Amino acid sequence: MTAKTAPFLRVRNLTKRFGQFVALRDISLDVATGDFVCFLGPSGCGKTTLLRAIAGLDPQDQGLIEIAGRDVSHLPPAARDFGIVFQSYALFPNLTVAANVGYGLVNQRAGRAKIEARVAELLALVGMPEQGTKYPVQLSGGQQQRVALARALATSPGLLLLDEPLSALDARVRLRLRDEIKMLQRRLGVTTIMVTHDQEEALAMADCIVVMNQGVIEQVGSPQDIYRNPATAFVADFVGTMTFLDAEIAGPAALRVGAIELACPDAARFLKGSAVRIGLRPEEIRVRNIDGGTPNQIATRVTTLDFLGSFCRAHLKPEAAPNVAILADFSLNLMRDLAVAEGQPLTVALPPESLRVFSKPS
């Protein structure tokens, strides 16, 4: 997160229940001015509930929300100064694109000419100039979402809320719109919160990711931070792919998986003898340039290979621990050079610094 003085959005001890179900449990969060923040988590984790509480659409039961230094905890949505875009676009079908974009401007009693100029400016901004006279039904999904974005930005809100804006679009359009939204946000500098369940989307777009699970925040951090140093096994599993293995701490910087001893500086955080889980990203597994001095070498056998386009995902079975499976991603290049094939033996190295140790859930 870029360091700035006072946060633009401050959330403190937010709790929201639906009957017996606790959707948000004592959430506290700061969002810096101009940041692009993603709420990331599986469905039902509370990310949309948190967004709607910030918007005032589903008010919290307890807790404080401050926007730009103003306590808005109990204000209705219209008094909070935000623009919002929904997964369903929520465009008014009976109004033209221009009327949709100008919907909030009419209320500000600006002159007709001024509104028209602003609408044209916004449509140009989202890459849809000259389309103002069409109706939403005549537009593609991606175009509709652009119009929804223009409508949300029309009143120049201080905060832009995006509720799974790309989920209803097909893969190609999603990729393009993802970049465009990110560029637009950078250009306007508007503080933005996006809810998504797609980790790839969050990693690509956000300045700061808030990973949520079961109503609590698991971790807040930059995309690199979240990916490289996941705070919990949940984060590690949800963001990217990881192999998890049961292990035991064998020393200040060593652990044991079955019969295999591994060096691991991260193990220092735990007491010797305690049972832990270790995580390892598939792309961290090394095959090239292994010599006698390379630490954590293990002899394995390739059980299956999944072809995934630009790379292959191998399932490796260590010779010393046959009931363990380790995932490894190999480039096609590497596959060709080393003649990797199913059933073949393969010596790999697990770089000590890439092994993450997590406490075992009791």
Instruction: By CB under 8 A, name the binding residues for another protein.
Output: 55-57, 75-79, 81-84, 86, 88-90, 92-96, 103-108, 110, 114, 117-118, 121, 135-138, 151-152, 154-158, 161, 188
Cβ count near 191 (within 10 Å): 24
Q: How does DSSP classify residue 96?
A: -
CA distance 111 to 113: 5
Residue with smaller CB distance to another protein, 92 or 307: 92
Q: Residue 201 is inside which H or E element, if any?
A: helix 199-205
CA distance 262 to 350: 8
Tell the smallest beta-carbon distance from residue 75 to another protein (Å).
6
Please report, as a single letter, which amino acid is at residue 7. Answer: P
Residue with smaller CB distance to another protein, 105 or 328: 105
Contact assessment for residue 290 and residue 347, using Cβ atoms and an 8 Å cutoff: yes
Residue with smaller CB distance to another protein, 88 or 222: 88
Contact assessment for residue 278 and residue 356, using Cβ atoms and an 8 Å cutoff: yes
Tell the smallest beta-carbon distance from residue 102 to another protein (Å).
10
Output the six-digit token pair for 258. 């079955």
Residue with smaller CB distance to another protein, 81 or 225: 81
Residue with smaller CB distance to another protein, 79 or 290: 79
Residue with smaller CB distance to another protein, 46 or 136: 136
Cβ count near 22 (within 10 Å): 16
Cβ count near 44 (within 10 Å): 14
Tell the smallest beta-carbon distance from residue 188 to another protein (Å).
7
Residue with smaller CB distance to another protein, 118 or 315: 118
Q: How does DSSP classify residue 358?
A: E
Tell the smallest beta-carbon distance from residue 117 to another protein (Å).
7
Please report, as a single letter, which amino acid is at residue 360. Answer: K
Output the six-digit token pair for 129. 């100039």
CA distance 348 to 289: 10
Tell the smallest beta-carbon distance from residue 127 to another protein (Å).
17
CA distance 113 to 148: 22
Residue with smaller CB distance to another protein, 111 or 361: 111
Tell the smallest beta-carbon distance from residue 8 to another protein (Å).
15
Per-residue CA distances from 211 to 6, 218, 232, 310 (Å): 22, 5, 10, 28
Please report the DSSP string for 298-357 in residue order.
Answer: EEEEEEEEEE-SSEEEEEEEETT-TT--EEEEEEHHHHHHHT--TT-EEEEE--GGG-EE
Tell the smallest beta-carbon distance from residue 64 to another protein (Å).
17
Tell the smallest beta-carbon distance from residue 143 to another protein (Å).
13
CA distance 55 to 96: 26
